[in-house]
């Protein structure tokens, strides 16, 4: 099947790019699972933009740079905060309904933001509302076709090394197909499922990054994985997120002994950057031997909690926690990949005809630690930019792909892999543990399979990603942002650089 442009992923970045691309040709948008199953759907807290009274793009820039711990690309951040308010206005014109106080947009607060600047929708279903509006807009365009259940397994390369399409596997029928196009945009989202504990949906297995790696694309900053501090720690809750917006409205963290502890760790207490809060929680759990800490909302008015956080309130209630009366057991979980396929500010990667936007991409916006609620904004702003840039391929002939290499699958269990990543590539790391992950994964036997299914391809992606994270984290002999090593606990000026890894090469820094 051939289209002009292929967008892999139907979350915010992919849909926003497709809307731009539709102006220049036929666009096929493929979703790995059902069309609505993406990380965007689960984003609760909101989308940050300097639209409030007393706020300014310069302040949003300052907060983003501070959270990024010396590693943000300033031009990328300026692009994000400058184009953000325009992107949101456009979204409102396309039908997105953000919560309001009277006629004004209601603005929440989250960690490391110096101002109230978080727009939200239906209280705590912001990603779902943005994806709904983009989906409706994209589906209304004659040039856009949306297809579900097509998981990318490999990039198809032409003889000249340019990207000619993708191979996909249908997760329901296990059938395989090749989709060809003049250009491919990866918008496949994150890789949180590399870890035993994650806020990400099951589809977040890093397939886009792994496929780009196998095709020879440059990847950057993979060692930086953000751990969200507060996931509901109840059996069967499946990594359900308790949004940072709860702390933004005044919820406190308490240890096993009931004591409020964040005031001992950071001047911003519960609103410190996420890496600081996650590490503090781990320290408290280790200190007391408890499996979780507590998130306490009882100082907030019950009606306010139910109205402002309806989805969170109802979900907690289903799991036996009434947030208006009981503190919720919480612990950190893998949440967001700051690194990914290295791109310029227009989504161009190191491979001709391959573009990337959203969580799969690394344009340098987030540095070593993403500021809360900047991810939906990144998807919107850089999705649109990548879509516009990719129109440069409008007149180019599609190149025929060379036959792809036979896939090889690792022989280890998903549980084993996730436990290994959690133990050694998690919130607190060490050189020894990271080297152990590399050794273990390099020694894993790889075998072909006559009837590969989606789960096997996902395990292959997770295996590749775990190794890449460990490899990059081992090379970064310092601690910075979300990457903390007990054997080198300080930041070092010689590492105030992005990491870069490419198949067949050692990790370098630039
Ligand atoms: C949250 O609601 O806490 C998540 C928002 C984000 O990751 O930016």
Q: Domain of 272: which CATH number?
A: 3.90.700.10
Instruction: Decide if 35 is inside a domain.
Output: no
Q: Look at residue 172 in the predicted model and tell me its pLDDT.
A: 83
Structure tokens at 2: 């051939």
**Residue 378 CB–ligand 1 contact under 6 Å:** no
What is the number of alpha carbons within 13 Å of residue 336 lying toward its C-beta? 29
pLDDT at 171: 83
pLDDT in tens, 128-155: 999 999 999 999 999 999 999 999 999 9
Measured from the CB, is residue 44 less than 6 Å from ligand 1?
yes
The reply to whether 259 falls in a domain is yes
Q: What was the pLDDT predicted at 499?
A: 98
Count, residues in the chain: 510
- Tell which of 287, 311, 332 closes a domain: 332
Indicate if ligand 1 lies below 6 Å from the C-beta of 226. Answer: no
Report the distance separating Cα 348 and Cα 143, nearest Å: 23
pTM given for the model: 0.96
Determine contact, residues 182/5, Cβ cutoff 8 Å: yes
Which CATH number is 465's domain given? 1.20.58.100
Distance CA 116, CA 94 (A): 24
Helices 414-424 and 454-475: angle between axes, nearest 10 degrees: 20
Q: Is the beta carbon of 243 within 6 A of some atom in ligand 1? A: yes
Atom of ligand 1 at shortest range from CA of 370:
8
Q: Whose CA is nearest to atom 2 of ligand 1?
A: 45
pLDDT in tens, 299-345: 999 999 999 999 999 999 999 999 999 999 999 999 999 999 999 99
Q: Given the structure tokens 């984003």, which residue do they identify? A: 43
Query: Are residues 411 and 323 part of one domain?
Result: no
Please indicate, yes or no, if residue 246 is contained in any of the structural domains.
yes
Predicted local confidence at residue 44, as pLDDT: 81
Reported as a pLDDT band with limits 50, 70 and 90, residue 256 is very high
Q: Specify the ligand 1 atom closest to the Cα of 335.
A: 7
Cα 354 versus chain centre, distance: 19
Structure token pair of residue 159: 């003889």
Band of the pLDDT at 175, cuts 50, 70, 90?
Answer: very high
Mutation pick for ligand 1 pocket among 11, 12, 43, 229 (CB with most ligand atoms within 8 Å) = 43
Q: In whole angstroms, what is the distance from residue 34 CA to residue 146 CA? A: 10
Does residue 248 line the site of ligand 1, with CB under 6 A?
A: no
The pLDDT of residue 2 is above 90: no
Any domain includes 107:
no
Band (pLDDT 50/70/90 cuts) for residue 38 is confident
Whether residue 255 lies inside any domain: the answer is yes
Rounded to whole angstroms, how far apart are CA atoms 379 and 391? 18
Instruction: Give the C-alpha separation, 278 to 356, whole Å.
Output: 29
The answer on 419 and 324 residing in a single domain is no
pLDDT tens profile 47-101: 999 999 999 999 999 999 999 999 999 999 999 999 999 999 999 999 999 999 9
48 close to ligand 1 (CB < 6 Angstrom): no
Residue 332 pLDDT: 98
Contacts of 103 (CB under 8 A, 6+ apart): none
No. of helices (H) and no. of strands (E), the chain: 14, 23
- Encode pLDDT of 445-502 as tens digits: 999 999 999 999 999 999 999 999 999 999 999 999 999 999 999 999 999 999 999 9
CA 322 to chain centre: 29
User: Of all atoms in ligand 1, which is nearest to the CA of residue 230?
Assistant: 3
Q: What's the average model confidence in pLDDT over 414-441? A: 98
The confidence score (pLDDT) of residue 145 equals 97
Quick one: which atom of ligand 1 is closest to the CA of 374? Answer: 8
pLDDT exceeds cutoff 80 at 254? yes
Q: Which pLDDT value is given to residue 494? A: 97
User: Do 123 and 4 touch, CB atoms closer than 8 A?
Assistant: no
The confidence score (pLDDT) of residue 336 equals: 97
Which residues belong to the active site? 274
Q: Is residue 484 part of a domain?
A: yes
Q: Is residue 126 part of a domain?
A: no
What's the mean pLDDT when you consider all of the chain?
95
Q: Domain boundary at 313, 332, 351, which?
A: 332
pLDDT computed for residue 43 by the predictor: 76
**Ligand 1 center–CA 369 separation, angstroms:** 13
Pocket test for ligand 1, best of 370, 373, 379 (most atoms within 8 A of CB): 373
Residue 313 lies in a domain: yes
Element (DSSP H or E) covering residue 140: none
* Structural domains counted in the chain: 2
Q: If we measure between CA atoms, which residue out of 158, 208, 211 comes closest to residue 181?
A: 158
State the residue range of the domain holding 297. Answer: 228-332
Rounded CA separation 168/165 (Å)? 10
Q: What is the pLDDT of residues 487-504, one digit of tens each?
A: 999 999 999 999 999 999
pLDDT in tens, 368-415: 999 999 999 999 999 999 999 999 999 888 788 998 899 999 999 999
């Amino acid at each position: 099947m051939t289209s002009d442009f292929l967008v892999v992923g139907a979350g915010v970045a992919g849909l926003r790019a497709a809307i731009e691309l539709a102006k220049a040709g036929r666009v096929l948008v493929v979703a790995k699972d059902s069309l609505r199953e993406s990380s965007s759907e689960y984003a609760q807290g909101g989308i940050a933009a300097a639209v409030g009274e007393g706020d300014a793009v310069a302040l949003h820039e300052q907060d983003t740079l501070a959270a990024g711990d010396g590693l943000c690309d300033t031009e990328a951040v300026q692009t994000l905060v400058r184009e953000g308010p325009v992107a949101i206005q456009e979204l409102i014109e396309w039908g997105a309904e953000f919560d309001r106080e009277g006629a004004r947009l209601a603005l929440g607060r989250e960690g490391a933001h110096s101002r109230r600047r978080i727009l939200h929708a239906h209280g705590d279903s912001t990603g779902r509302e943005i994806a709904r509006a983009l989906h409706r807009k994209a589906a209304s365009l004659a040039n856009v076709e949306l297809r579900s259940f097509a998981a990318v397994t490999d990039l198809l390369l032409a003889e000249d090394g340019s990207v000619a399409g993708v191979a996909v596997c249908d997760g329901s029928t296990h059938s395989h197909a090749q989709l060809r196009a003049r250009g491919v945009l990866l918008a496949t989202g994150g890789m949180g499922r590399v870890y035993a504990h994650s806020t990400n949906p099951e589809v977040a297995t890093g397939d886009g990054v792994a496929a780009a790696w196998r095709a020879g694309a440059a990847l950057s900053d993979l060692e930086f994985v953000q751990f969200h501090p507060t996931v509901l720690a109840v059996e069967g809750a499946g990594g359900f997120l308790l949004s940072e917006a709860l702390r933004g409205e005044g919820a406190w963290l308490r240890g096993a002994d009931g004591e409020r502890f964040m005031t001992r760790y950071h001047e911003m207490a519960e609103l410190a950057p996420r890496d600081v809060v996650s590490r503090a929680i781990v320290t408290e759990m280790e200190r007391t031997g408890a499996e979780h800490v507590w998130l306490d909302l009882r100082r907030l008015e019950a009606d306010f909690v139910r109205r402002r956080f309806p989805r969170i309130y109802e979900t907690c209630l289903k799991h036996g926690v009434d947030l208006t009366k009981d503190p919720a057991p919480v612990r950190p979980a893998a949440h967001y990949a700051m690194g990914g396929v290295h791109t310029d500010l227009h989504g161009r990667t190191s491979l001709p005809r391959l573009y990337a936007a959203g969580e799969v991409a690394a344009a340098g916006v987030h540095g070593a630690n993403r500021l809360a609620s900047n991810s939906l904004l990144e998807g919107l702003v850089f999705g649109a930019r990548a879509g516009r840039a990719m129109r440069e391929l409008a007149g180019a002939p599609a190149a025929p792909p060379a036959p792809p290499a036979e896939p090889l699958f690792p022989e280890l269990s998903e549980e084993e892999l996730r436990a290994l990543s959690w133990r050694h590539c998690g919130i607190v790391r060490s050189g020894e543990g990271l080297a152990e992950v590399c050794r273990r994964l390099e020694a894993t036997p790889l075998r072909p399979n006559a009837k590969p299914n989606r789960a096997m391809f996902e395990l292959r992606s997770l295996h590749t990603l775990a190794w890449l994270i460990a490899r990059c984290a081992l090379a970064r002999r310092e601690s910075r942002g979300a990457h903390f090593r007990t054997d080198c606990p300080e930041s070092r000026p010689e590492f105030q650089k992005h990491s870069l890894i490419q198949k067949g090469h050692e990790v370098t820094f630039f």
